[in-house]
Structure 1
Amino acid sequence: MRHVLILGAGRIGRSMTALLQGTGEYQVTLGDRDPATLAKCTTKGAQTLGIDSTDMNALKAAMAGKHAVVGAGPYAVNVFIAEAAAACGVDYFDVTEDVEVTNQVRKFAKGAKSAFVPQCGLAPGFISIVANDLAKQFETLRELRLRVGALPRFPANRLGYNLTWSTDGLINEYLNPCEVIHDGRRVLVPPMEGEERFAINGVEYEAFTTSGGVGSLCETYDGKVETLTYKTIRYPGHCEAMRLILEDLHLKSRRPLLKEILEGAIPETRQDVIIVFVTATGMQDGRLNQISFARAIHGAELDGHAFSGIEITTAGAAAAMIDLKYQGKLPQSGFVRQEDVSLADFLENRFGKVYA
């Protein structure tokens, strides 16, 4: 029995709890500082814990006897969780997209005997595993294009969007610099630019640069590819509308107000669809070739629990990485990149199969 502490009892934390606890091979303790949020956890056999994830003493006490800890709450608290994990020798996982937090986690991973596996979600996360798998099929690589979107199945406003996950994470994506490889060099570019249009199965989408989704791929493929870009997928017109909100109304400099407006005006939805679209271009047998990977993933019911698309893809990806670590299919210590796992191993995993 593996004992796992999940910190953050929001939708992703509760979904991970249901997935791991439901196997009978993991004993999950779900922690959060809000009693009302903890009370929403209905997974049979799971334990709950009231805890402030910025309290180092409380974190160390909660990690006693645990094999792993997962940061599933606000991205900023993951730095505290990672520091405590390093002190306690506990394996660390998170689902953050925040670049600076991941850089801090990397520091705690240096010389650690336990594993530090950040960015275990959809993007960053699964998208990096796919891109790495496609890239390895070429003798020389010209371009990697990563495109991901969490979208409402039934858009009903001018943004063509509903909230499906963390608003703080969404704002981060739209406002922070984006790492890409351009002309063979790692560079930072502004978010909400490079707009493009395409169609998958007859449905039209747009995509534009956003922060964080590329994970560590730019580092991994530095000097190995001419172009590597990550963009977020939305329905056409979303980018222009968001530029009005962020630029013309200047809400990009007032993040708390921006969050309040978004959460007050844009409803959440569980009727979502996750679009994953990765394309690799390069030389195979002396010819320029292209390989693509595309998925459209909806919510599903697993073991009596109903999951939205974003829940099943994010929680499923993180649970798969935990599973793979204890199956010996990931590096067992230090900083672990998402691309350190093979796509075949991931898709064969009982949690990763949601992407198959």
Structure 2
Amino acid sequence: MRVVLMGAGHIGQTIAAWLAKSGDYTVKVVDCSVVALKALAHLPVETALIDTSDVDELRNSMVGYDAVINALPYHLALTVATQAKVAGCHYFDLTEDVAATREIMALADGAKTAFMPQCGLAPGFIGIVAHHLTQKFTDLHEVKMRVGALPAFPTNSLKYNLTWSVDGLINEYCHPCEAIRDGNVIEVLPLEGMEHFSLDGTEYEAFNTSGGLGTLCDTLKGKVQTLDYKTVRYPGHGAIMKMLLQELGMQHDQETLKAILRKSVPLTMQDVVLVFVTVSGECDGKFMQEVFARKIFADRSETNPMSAIQITTAAGICGAIDLFREKKLPQSGFIKQEQVALPDLLANRFGSAYQQSRQVESIG
């Protein structure tokens, strides 16, 4: 299968390596950064330096390929998806942006090619897990989805290190969040809905952020009383971000905040990803609860270190395109994450990266 990968950042580099080394994909990677592309010199991939803001260059780079994998910033999602449709390529991305996903859904209506956005961790894997758990219930009451990509060794006041896109981080902190309450789809405010819990003796907080539910509100509307998604952080993080974004008004000057974070908050490869899903409802005539709680750790090997967020995000999108290649997913139109069967993903050579996770023993 011939794929063109848009974006050679940390996540893009992992995607390129996994697909190229699998033997089933011919990979071309395009980016606007010479430095990023040079990092791929050791891989059996073709590279192309293009202006990713130029629509014609984007489209021309796709011609002759079967699929496009978009690992560029979220604000380019609709542009890349539109050009993929023109070029006749299937489309996969990692966006958490709700508005972009809705527009891609409209773009996919009646299309001969497939469009599958939100193929990362959250949205992505978290929705696949939640939907899988709901299948055991005859009557759904509550679905709670919690995910955090956290530094293993927090040392600053934010108790946070950069582990993925700053653009995506600020985007999910600033936009309204979907949820279901009393069976109705509503919008809730980001950074609100604060709750505290512990896993394995470590204290965490969780609060509303945008995008993590993917399309589950549409899928479960009328079927569940309560559905929500919250991002997990160490205690105190949410209050500082609320002060920066809301009290100091930096939600209206996001570029300045992004520049400050990039300059002052260090990147780490030593991280851990938490995945925590609870589903409750009627099952075999009883009111029951199912829980999926995992920790996924960074690969700290000296030869090829990978952060936990690299592993989990690449596993999601590489697993999705691999299942698509094997025709285990629809071959045209819009594909929801919850159309992926969790057993299929975990059995997949890429999705099995989630199997190196450790099941959490207790939740308090």
Instruction: Name the TM tier (shorter chain).
Output: over 0.9
Work out the CA distance in 1 between the residues paired with 2:2 and 2:197.
Answer: 44
Q: Is the CA contact (8 Å cut-off) linking 2:270 and 2:300 kept in structure 1?
A: no
Q: Is the CA contact (8 Å cut-off) linking 1:53 and 1:81 kept in structure 2?
A: no
2:267 equivalent to 1:250: no
Work out the CA distance in 2 between the residues paired with 1:88 and 1:309.
Answer: 34
Give the CA deviation at 1:116.
0.2
Mapping 1:148-227, distance limit 5 Å: 148-227=147-226
In the other structure, the counterpart of 1:61 is: 60
Give the CA deviation at 1:88.
1.7
Give the CA deviation at 1:89.
1.6
Worse-superposed segment, 229-238 or 81-90: 81-90
Work out the CA distance in 1 between the residues paired with 2:29 and 2:64.
Answer: 15
Give the CA deviation at 1:11.
0.7
Give the CA deviation at 1:60.
2.5
Map Cα deviations across residues 12-60 of structure 1 (whole Å, 9 max, x no partner): 1111000100101111111001212211223421110112233232223
Unpaired runs of at least 5, structure 2: 356-364
Work out the CA distance in 2 between the residues paired with 1:225 and 1:107.
Answer: 25
In the other structure, the counterpart of 2:112 is: 113
Worse-superposed segment, 21-30 or 51-60: 51-60
In the other structure, the counterpart of 2:83 is: 84
Report the secondary structure of 1:306's partner residue.
coil
Mapping 1:270-281, distance limit 5 Å: 270-281=269-280
Give the CA deviation at 1:152.
0.1
Q: Is the CA contact (8 Å cut-off) linking 2:91 and 2:117 kept in structure 1?
A: yes
Map Cα deviations across residues 259-285 of structure 1 (whole Å, 9 max, x no partner): 111112111100000000000000011
Tell me the percent identity.
Answer: 49
Work out the CA distance in 1 between the residues paired with 2:300 and 2:160.
Answer: 24
2:248 counterpart letter in structure 1 = L
Work out the CA distance in 2 between the residues paired with 1:203 and 1:301.
Answer: 22
Work out the CA distance in 1 between the residues paired with 2:176 and 2:43.
Answer: 42
Pair 52,227 (structure 1): closer, same or farther in 2 beyond 3 Å: same
Work out the CA distance in 2 between the residues paired with 1:43 and 1:320.
Answer: 23
In the other structure, the counterpart of 2:92 is: 93
RMSD of aligned Cα (Å): 1.4
Mapping 1:30-41, distance limit 5 Å: 30-41=29-40
Pair 144,192 (structure 1): closer, same or farther in 2 beyond 3 Å: same
Give the CA deviation at 1:242.
1.4
Work out the CA distance in 2 between the residues paired with 1:174 and 1:77.
Answer: 19
Mapping 1:41-60, distance limit 5 Å: 41-60=40-59
Q: Is the CA contact (8 Å cut-off) linking 1:89 and 1:112 kept in structure 2?
A: no
Work out the CA distance in 1 between the residues paired with 2:215 and 2:44.
Answer: 36
TM-score, normalising length: structure 1: 0.97
Task: Give aligned pairs, total.
Answer: 355
Work out the CA distance in 2 between the residues paired with 1:286 and 1:353.
Answer: 34
TM-score, normalising length: structure 2: 0.95
In the other structure, the counterpart of 2:362 is: none
2:77 equivalent to 1:70: no
